[in-house]
Amino acid sequence: MNATAERSEGPAGMSWFLKVWVVLLVLTAVEIFLAYEELPVHIMLILLMGLSLIKAAMIVAYFMHLRYERTSLAWTLVPATIFVLVMMCVFFSDSLRIVRLGLFLH
């Protein structure tokens, strides 16, 4: 029950969270705008993934308060998750190859 005694003070008041909310909405609007811009697919992917990562990071850091917890918690949770997700990117070497070799899946 007193394990939270050392929880550090977060941002004061709701106004800060509302600011985060507005930024998230703006970033979402940017994403929608980009979707209709007919950019090359790989550029689109990089931009959308990048924006999504920023939005996710903001939710984790502020709404989920991770920025204001002990740094060791973030170091425990985040690198392991990212490492596993990044390793799965190796799968793509085969999906792209399937297309390049003309081995359509139909």
Partner 1 sequence: MHDSSKPTTEHHHSPPQGFLWTHVFSLDHKVIGKQYYFLSLAAVLIGMVLSWLVRFHLAWASAAIPGLQYLSKVGAPGGIITPEYYLSLLTLHGTLMVFFVLTTAPQAGFGNYFLPIQIGAEDMAFPRLNMLSFWVTFVGFVVLISTLFVSDGPPISGWTAYAPLSAIGTDAGPGLGTGQVLWVISIGFFCIGSLLGALNFIATTLDLRAKGMTLARMPYTTWAWFITAVLALLAFAVLLPACVLLALDHLGGTSFFIPGGLVVSDKLQPHSGGSTLLWQHMFWFFGHPEVYIAIIPGLGITSHILTATARKDILGGTRVLVGCMVSIAFLSFMVWGHHMFISGMNPFSSLVFSVPTLIITIPASIVTLNWIGTVFGARLRLHTPGLFAIGFISVFVTGGLSGFFLAQPSLDIYLHATYFVVGHFHMVMGVAAIFGMFAGTYFWFPKMFGRMMSETLGKIHFWVTFIGVYCIFMPMHYLGLAGNVRRYSAFVDDYLAPLIPVHKFITIAAFVTGAAQLLFLFNLFWSMYRGKKAEENPWQATTLEWTVPSPPPFDNFGGRHPVVYRGPYEFAVEETKDDFVMQDSPQQPARS
Partner 2 sequence: MSELEVVVTGGQEIWRGGESPYAIPSKKLGMWLFIVSDSITFGAVLFCYAYLRLASPDWPTPFRLASIENATIMTFVLLSSSVTMVAAVEAAKAGRIASSVRWLGATMLGGVIFDVLHIREWLGLIHEGLRLYHNDWGSSLFGAAFFTLTGLHMTHVTIGVIYLFIVATGFRRGKFTSDDVEISGLYWHFVDLVWMFIFPLVYLLSARIR
- Own/partner contacts of 67-70, CB < 8 Å, gap of 24 or more, are 67/10, 68/7, 68/8, 68/9, 68/10, 68/11, 69/7, 69/8, 70/6, 70/8
Q: Is 27 within 8 Å of 47 (Cβ atoms)?
A: no
CB of 98 to partner 1, least distance (A): 7
Q: Is 48 within 8 Å of 31 (Cβ atoms)?
A: yes
| Residues in 43-82 at the binding interface with partner 2, rule: CB under 8 A | 44-45, 48-49, 51-52, 55-56, 59-60, 63-65, 69-70, 72-73, 76-77, 80-81
Only segment of 5-13, 14-22, 31-39, 94-102 that touches partner 1 (CB under 8 A)? 94-102
Residue 19 near partner 1 by CB under 8 A? no
Cα 18 from Cα 26, distance rounded (Å):
12
For partner 2, the binding residues (CB under 8 A) are 1-7, 13-14, 17-18, 21, 24-25, 28, 31-32, 34-36, 38, 44-45, 48-49, 51-52, 55-56, 59-60, 63-65, 69-70, 72-73, 76-77, 80-81, 84-85, 88-89, 91-92, 94-96, 98-99, 104-106
